[in-house]
Amino acid sequence: MAETVCWCSNISKKSIIEAIQNGAVSIDDIRKMTGACTLGRCKEMSPRKRCCSKEIMQLLNSYISS
């Protein structure tokens, strides 16, 4: 089962990583390429009860800096 990062748009960690591998370097790039972090309902839909942008930024930082 794929790990969900963005709950309101149902975007997986794999999709975020693929976007980064295909040139995404910012959260805006991730939004455009995947649709993640666009509906603004993660706080109510996520089991973490927070926006997904923190997880997306962590993925960006870990893949871009490596």
pLDDT along the chain (66 residues), means of 10: 89 96 96 93 85 93 83
| Measured distance CA(66)–CA(5) in Å, rounded | 20
Which pLDDT score, from 0 to 100, does residue 36 have?
A: 95
pLDDT at residue 43 in the model: 82
At residue 66, the pLDDT reads 62
Distance from C-alpha of 16 to C-alpha of 31, rounded to nearest angstrom: 9
Asked if residues 45 and 7 have their Cβ atoms less than 8 Å apart, the reply is yes
What pLDDT, on the 0 to 100 scale, is given for residue 40?
Answer: 84
